[in-house]
Amino acid sequence: MRSLLMHSPVVIAAGWIGTYLLITLLPLLLLLIYPPPADRGFWIEFSVALGFIALAMMALQFALTARINRIEASYGVDIILQFHRYISLVAFTLVLVHPLILFVVQPETLQLLNFPVAPWRARMAVMGTLALIVLVVTTIWRQQLKIPYEPWRTSHGILAVLSVALGLGHAIGVGNYLGLFWKAVLWTGIAVLALWLLVYVRLVKPWFMLKKPYLVEEVRPERGDVWTLALRPLGHKGFRFQPGQFAWITLDISPFRMREHPFSMSSDGDNSERIEFSIKALGDFTNTIKDVAPGTKAFLDGPYGVFTTERYEDSAGFVLITGGIGITPMMSMLLTAAKRKDDRPYVLIYASKKWDDITFREELDELKDKLDLKIIHVLKEPPEDWTGEKGYVDKELLERYIPKRRGTRQYFICASPKMMDQVELALHRLRVPATNIHMEHFNLV
Ligand SMILES: Cc1cc2nc3c(=O)[nH]c(=O)nc-3n(C[C@H](O)[C@H](O)[C@H](O)COP(=O)(O)OP(=O)(O)OC[C@H]3O[C@@H](n4cnc5c(N)ncnc54)[C@H](O)[C@@H]3O)c2cc1C
């Protein structure tokens, strides 16, 4: 019983939150336990405490983005990245408030901003803060500033390392607290952890990927300007995945180059010998898929994600709501269910622009023979003789197809951000329990 409780997802997720809080607050706790240097007053100690908490939070950002399977499996990438974004704004605010308090309480410290004559510890603080400002601005306004994803990702990593390293250098330079042996040990520990995570992401993970290559076996066109890329493991067993999960793909270049893209698997989860991804041609990388030659080497980092029917084995059935390329995880869920002879009811509400654009239209039709599957196509630009659903997936449309006993099903949504927001709101209004609604966002950043 005790062991069951220890392995419950809720307990594990709560455990990670506890660990996070402990690591961020540990420097503060130590600071409180140990008598601070005399005569500095409350506000100065408070400002220093904010600086330490911000530094610990920034160091832990490396753990949040290292794609550690155990953490990721508790929350899903969406939630972790959302947390990463919010927490970085909190840390950023603390970094700014930390010197502001000093400037108000001890106006003479303003001289530390005089860069040419300021001591190194102050210069490091200024440079670290500037790096953080550039990092935050280029992230929040990346699209408005028209910064492409790849250069942004590289600069994001460099600025993050710079701001944490300079922050730590500043803290060591000031030395009031770190001079104490065991506090120096604590901070060295946090710095080593951040450094290890960096080495793990940049070197260890790509090295493991390099050992398990895949070969492109087929590239086939689908309706809706989508290309299915079929991969076969080369000299290893591949991986089993839960239908609906995704992986990061590196094509034709070394995984050390860190130019990878996330895609949901569209094939059935039990066939690790042939893993398929269906990719819509939308940008620099996705436009090249159609030209990938069979035999090209590929590397996969995965599987990731909690957007899967497999986590809800006791559900009486499923409602899958999708638009456009959001069909890929749903396709995997349906193919896997058909293969496992799942007899529970599935409802697929699938929004597309035109009848001819519907990716997997024929394949889905065939699945109706193997599954208790009801498909509702919703067309934005229907043909003249169309008698089916048209327009948007709204509350009225959903009400016509979801069961009266809302809580008996699990609801999965994957579509454009706007459609996902509207469908989520409509489901809330239809009194679908929030815990039964699951979403996968394709636009992580
Ligand atoms: C969990 C998940 C599952 C996905 N599954 C599918 C799928 O099954 N089929 C499909 O067609 N698309 C899927 N996508 C979307 C796909 O990853 C992006 O469309 C693709 O990476 C865009 O690359 P691009 O260079 O062609 O486009 P660009 O025009 O260069 O970029 C368009 C936008 O895509 C995002 N993006 C670009 N490069 C990356 C990258 N390396 N990593 C993360 N995001 C990036 C950025 O927000 C960028 O602004 C999925 C995304 C996620 C997060």
* Ligand 1, atom 34: closest residue by C-alpha: 443
Q: How far apart are the first and last CA of the chain?
A: 41
The Å distance, Cα 319 to ligand 1 centre, comes to: 25
Cα dihedral 168, 172, 177, 183, rounded to 10, equals: 70
Residue 103 has pLDDT above 70, yes or no: yes
* Ligand 1, atom 28: closest residue by C-alpha: 283
The Å distance, Cα 223 to ligand 1 centre, comes to: 19
Ligand 1 atom nearest the C-alpha of 266 is 8
Cβ 409 vs Cβ 436: under 8 Å: yes
The Å distance, Cα 149 to ligand 1 centre, comes to: 9
Distance from chain centroid for Cα 438: 14
Ligand 1 atom nearest the C-alpha of 329 is 8
Given ligand 1 and candidates 154, 282, 357, which is best to mutate, with the most ligand atoms within 8 Å of its CB?
A: 282
Classify residue 219 by its DSSP letter.
E
- Please list the residues that pair with 36 across neighbouring strands: none
Ligand 1 atom nearest the C-alpha of 328 is 8
Query: What is the model's pLDDT at position 271?
Result: 92
Cβ 258 vs Cβ 206: under 8 Å: yes
Three-class secondary structure of residue 1 per DSSP: coil
Alpha carbons 88 and 195: distance in angstroms, whole number: 18
* Ligand 1, atom 2: closest residue by C-alpha: 442
Higher-pLDDT residue of 85 and 187 is 85
Supply φ then ψ for residue 227, to 5 degrees. Answer: -125, 130
The Å distance, Cα 191 to ligand 1 centre, comes to: 32
The Å distance, Cα 261 to ligand 1 centre, comes to: 6
The Å distance, Cα 31 to ligand 1 centre, comes to: 44
Alpha carbons 304 and 309: distance in angstroms, whole number: 14
What's the angle, vertex CA 222, arms to CA 221 and CA 225, rounded to 5? Answer: 85
Name the band, by pLDDT with cuts 50, 70 and 90, for residue 254: confident
- For residue 139, what are its two tokens? 């992230």
Supply φ then ψ for residue 374, to 5 degrees. Answer: -110, 125
Find the mean pLDDT for residues 362-371: 96
- pLDDT tens track for 290-347: 999 999 999 999 899 999 999 998 999 999 999 999 999 999 999 999 999 999 999 9
Residue 13 has pLDDT above 90, yes or no: no
Residue 178 has pLDDT above 70, yes or no: no
Q: What is the DSSP string of 58-119?
A: HHHHHHHTS--HHHHHHH-HHHHHHHHHHHHHHHHHHHHHHHHHHHHH-GGGGGGG-TTTS-
Burial 337-352 (b: 16+ CB within 10 A, else e): bbeeebeebbbbbbbb
* Ligand 1, atom 9: closest residue by C-alpha: 279
The Å distance, Cα 290 to ligand 1 centre, comes to: 16
Name the band, by pLDDT with cuts 50, 70 and 90, for residue 193: confident
Supply φ then ψ for residue 279, to 5 degrees. Answer: -120, 125
Ligand 1 cavity residues, CB under 6 Å: 149, 246, 260-264, 278-280, 282-286, 325, 328, 440, 442-445
- For residue 387, what are its two tokens? 């008698």
Name the band, by pLDDT with cuts 50, 70 and 90, for residue 1: very low
The Å distance, Cα 134 to ligand 1 centre, comes to: 24
Cβ 57 vs Cβ 87: under 8 Å: yes
The Å distance, Cα 7 to ligand 1 centre, comes to: 33
pTM: 0.88
The Å distance, Cα 227 to ligand 1 centre, comes to: 14
Exposure of 120 by Cβ count < 10 A (0-12 exposed, 13-18 middle, 19+ buried)? exposed
The Å distance, Cα 262 to ligand 1 centre, comes to: 6
Alpha carbons 320 and 329: distance in angstroms, whole number: 10
Given ligand 1 and candidates 246, 248, 249, 263, which is best to mutate, with the most ligand atoms within 8 Å of its CB?
A: 263
Ligand 1 atom nearest the C-alpha of 287 is 26
- pLDDT tens track for 377-433: 999 999 999 999 999 999 999 999 999 999 899 999 999 999 999 999 999 999 999
At the second CATH level, the architecture of 310-439 is: 3-Layer(aba) Sandwich (3.40)
Residue 76 has pLDDT above 90, yes or no: no
Ligand 1 atom nearest the C-alpha of 282 is 26
Alpha carbons 145 and 139: distance in angstroms, whole number: 9
Cβ 168 vs Cβ 52: under 8 Å: no
Name the band, by pLDDT with cuts 50, 70 and 90, for residue 214: very high
- For residue 440, what are its two tokens? 């996968």
Average pLDDT across the chain, whole number: 90
Domain ranges of the chain: 2-208, 212-304, 310-439
Peptide bond just before 151 cis, omega within 30 deg: no
At the second CATH level, the architecture of 212-304 is: Beta Barrel (2.40)
- pLDDT tens track for 144-156: 999 998 899 889 9
Ligand 1 atom nearest the C-alpha of 261 is 41
